[in-house]
Structure formats: structure tokens, C-alpha cells
Amino acid sequence: MKSKARTPIPRVAVIGAGVTGALIANELSKLREKNSIGEEAPPRYDVTVIEQGAIGNGSSSRSAACIRQQFSTQATVHGMMYSVEYYKNFAKHVGKKPSEANVLVQNGYLFLYRDPQRFQEAATTAVMQQQWGLKDVEVLGPPEIRKKFPFVNTLELTGATWCPSDGFLRPVDIYSEALENAVRNGAKLMRNTQVNGATKRGNLITALKTTRGNVPCDIVVNATNAWAPRVSQMLEGTGLPIMSLKRFLWFLNTNHAPGVMEFPMIVAEGGQYFRPENSHQVMLGHAVDITPEPRFSNEDQDVVPWEYDLENADGLGMQTWMELTSWVPVLEKFGKEKHGTTSGFYGTTPDHNPFIDYDPYVPNLIHACGFSGHGIMHAPFTMKIVCALVEKGTRQWTMELNGKILDISIFAVDRNFDNHAEAMVI
């Protein structure tokens, strides 16, 4: 009797080895078919990750790496609730013991407001978040703020919103552990490999052309974020309206002052923010209007113009610190202990929601990009959507997550950007 020929395993090529690409590769590599008696068969997908540099080459290694569930769109709130739970249990997703892969620090997120109208808008949004299932988000008045956060200057405050289950992440551990587990499960990782074109049959990509030879594939995932528009163009996909915007982070030494790690992520009304980085440093940030750099190079990621350098007494870094000291006066004593400035690129869309969708012109190309500064926190949710797209093989407008049907059309590549703009962007 002739043995039955084995059906070829679909080949998935993930371009980009940051957190998003790493989690997608890890999840797809774990999927297994079951045979007729319930035993595990070979992997359902043959996964290859292609990275032009070292893993985490782009924004993932240069991110503020915060995570919050306080958003203004329902699907994103549910997705971020899923992401928090995923990162809380990250170790089990990568085959580790809990003590070996602790990547989430839940210090909370505190949004502070002086303007009554902006506070009322934030309070209204918080009520919607509670209705959507985010039960631990709170609206606080000045007396409650003073009680919970005595280090905050409440003299001019109108109020705040607070979610204790928000916090920040350890991205290097996330993409390193996820890729390591993907490789253990059979995925291939191609570092320092440039994608420079594709072989196609009609509109379908059949192989990626790289500096290390052709990579045959049935599905391609563009997880390159700020690089995504040029990757899509190279693969003859749709034009992605993603702006590459430089963002800066500033680090101050605290001389191991007590209580530093107890600070939450604090966001002032003007968008200035800070959080603890470790027991001896705090991180400051502020997203401001800046000229996009669509043709940036790898090296450009770390170029810090003088006007954004923390060493410049009149630069944006020191201005951000000075503004934050008016909200949290204790920061003033850290301003003379400068540690340094880092930078990287946001991949920003017109409505600040990402693209997670099949390309309308290249039916086997999935885009997972344009996160507008939220890529790492969004990555588990992104992974769930991408895996659903891979499994279904076509564009999807809804998805089940934790028993709820979510509208994921807000992540469509060709959506109307006026319909679902994300209001809570830092």
C-alpha cells in the first residue's frame, strides 16, 4: 500500500525581528496539527524570520516600552487587556519558568490634568473603559490624588485617571526569549539579512529575494514598522501612509534615592511623561512635532540633534524635566544627575491606529505595522490578529478574543482614517 503523500506545510516569512515579529514567529511555530489518534504531528507552519540587522534592530530596542489599557477605542482596550495578561504569563508562552522570564512591571499609569475640559473628556473616556471591561481604571479628584500619590503637586490639578494594572516592559527579554523559543520549535532566524525584492506568480509572492539567497514563502508578514512603507513598495504592495517620526528619551540618575521604583508612569497634560527605568534611573519623554524622515537609515536611529540632547540646557530634554518638576517636585533633585539621551523612530499612521491586515494588491502579504509608539504593548494583540489572518487566509473584519467579538476593521489598510481616530496618544 502506498503511503499517503504529506501535504506541504505552508511557509511563512516574517520580515522584522523586533517584538512584534518575534511574538508572531513564536506563536506560529508552536501551532501543531493533531493526527487521527490525537498525537501531535509536525508544525502547522514553516516559519522564517528575516532581520536586516541584529534582533531588535529597530524601535523595539529604543522604546519607552510602556504598556497601558487606557485607550479610547473599544477594540484596543480589549486588546491591551489581553496584552497585559499575556505579558503577566509571558514565561509559559516561551517555555520558561516564571522566574526566568519576568517582563512586566505593573507600576500603573497616572494621567494628570489641570484643564477642566480635558479632565472631563478623560473622565468620560474612563467610564467607557470601565464599561468595556477595564474595571480597575479610576477617576481621581485632588484629595484622592494627594492620598494615593503624595509626591504629586495638586495645587492646580483638576483631576487624574489611574489604572494600577498598567506599567512598563522589558523588551530585550521579550524579543530574545520569543525568538529563542521559536527557533527551538523549528523556526529559522536569518540575522543581518536584507530583503531586496520578491519573486511573484501573478500577484502572489512565491519567494523573497535576500542578500543570503531566495526564501520560498506562501505568506509574508511585514513587521518592520517605520520601515514598512518601503518594504511594501519593494514587494509591490499598497502605499502605507506611515510617517517616520524621531522620538527621544532622556535618563536621569537618582543616586539610588529610596522609592524610585514605586513611581508609576506619570503623564502630564502636555504629554510630558516619566517612569522609573531601574532603582537608580528615571526615564523622561515628550513627543513633539518634528519633520518626518521617510528615508532614514539604520544609523539615523541614534542621531540626536543638539536641540534634543539632554546636555543642552535649553534643549527639549531639560524643558521636559522642568515642566515635569511642576507636577512632581521631587524630580527637581534629579535634574543635575544627567545620564544620557537615546532616540528612535515612531511609525505613525494618520489616525494613530496600526495596520494589521492583508495587502489589497498582494493577497499573501500581511502588514503588521504603524503602531504610533504603541508597538510593544500592542504586540500580543497584534500576534493574535496576524495568526487569525494566517489561519483564515483572507482579510477579516471581526475577531473573537476572550469570548468577545471585536471590530478589527479599524486596523484595515484601506480604512477611512476619520472614523476611528485614537485620542489617547502620547
Q: What is the pLDDT of residues 302-330, one digit of tens each?
A: 999 999 999 999 999 999 999 999 999 99
Mean pLDDT of 218-222: 98
Q: Would the pLDDT of 3 be above 60?
A: no
* pLDDT tens, residue by residue, 335-366: 778 899 999 999 999 999 999 999 999 999 99
Mean pLDDT of 214-239: 98
Q: Are residues 340 and 62 in contact, defined by beta-carbon separation less than 8 angstroms?
A: no
Q: How far is the C-alpha of 112 from the C-alpha of 271, rounded, in Å?
A: 10
Structural domain boundaries in the chain: 11-66+172-242+351-411, 106-167+243-348
Query: pTM to 2 decimals?
Result: 0.95
pLDDT (0 to 100) of residue 257: 86
Compute φ and ψ for 128, nearest 5 degrees. Answer: -65, -40
Q: What is the mean pLDDT of the chain?
A: 94
Of 97, 55, 50, 52, the C-alpha closest to 208 is 50
CA-based torsion, 225, 226, 229, 231: positive or negative: negative
Angle formed at CA 269 by CA 265 and CA 273, multiple of 5 degrees: 30
Q: Which three cell numbers stand for residue 38?
A: 490525537
Question: Was domain 106-167+243-348 assigned CATH 3.30.9.10?
Answer: yes
Mean pLDDT of 82-108: 96
Lowest mean pLDDT among 246-250, 257-261, 342-346: 257-261
Comparing 274 with 38, the larger pLDDT belongs to: 274
Radius of gyration of the chain from its Cα atoms, rounded to whole angstroms: 22
Mean pLDDT of 285-299: 93
pLDDT (0 to 100) of residue 5: 52
Assign 37 a pLDDT band (cuts: 50, 70, 90): low
Topology at the third CATH level for domain 11-66+172-242+351-411: FAD/NAD(P)-binding domain (3.50.50)
Q: Are residues 389 and 90 in contact, defined by beta-carbon separation less than 8 angstroms?
A: no
* pLDDT tens, residue by residue, 17-34: 999 999 999 999 999 876
Assign 287 a pLDDT band (cuts: 50, 70, 90): confident
Q: Would the pLDDT of 1 be above 50?
A: no
Q: Would the pLDDT of 423 be above 80?
A: no
pLDDT (0 to 100) of residue 418: 86
